[in-house]
Amino acid sequence: MADGLHLARMPSRLGVSRWGRATLVDVSAELIAPLGFKRRVAVPMLDLVTPDPAALRAAAGAADHALRLGPVIVCCALGYSRSAAVVATWLLSTGRAANLEDAVDRIRAVRPAIVLDETTRAAIREAAL
């Protein structure tokens, strides 16, 4: 996405060989992340439920902090909603995006199939304040 932050689905064991030196910011509540990452931060969010703004803020802050140590992967089960919401929050809260539409456009350029409904967008706006 930007500055060493990546948006992805939950990596497989094979993904660890590619990304093992990164910090994994895992926002899935239903999956167990593969072993082998240098660092892992978990901020569990339920799938198909509007994320809590405080959880979005916490995950975006964890990702931003981890970037000081190297690359970061923000992931959920498929990388289409929860993780995209965290990345949008990060883009907005760090000033890397001018507004929510700019953040969404930047994410869609990399992952066209993201799903951010209106309630999730409202949570992102609140979280990025």
- Number of neighbours of residue 16 by Cβ within 10 angstroms: 17
Q: Are 55 and 39 in contact (CB under 8 A)?
A: no
Tokens coding 31 = 């999956």
Q: Are 49 and 28 in contact (CB under 8 A)?
A: no
Amino acid at 57: R
Q: Of the listed 58, 76, 97, 123, which one is catalytic?
A: 76
- Using only C-alpha atoms, what is the Rg of the chain? 13
Respond yes or no: is residue 76 known to be catalytic: yes
- Number of neighbours of residue 35 by Cβ within 10 angstroms: 9
Residues marked active site are found at 76
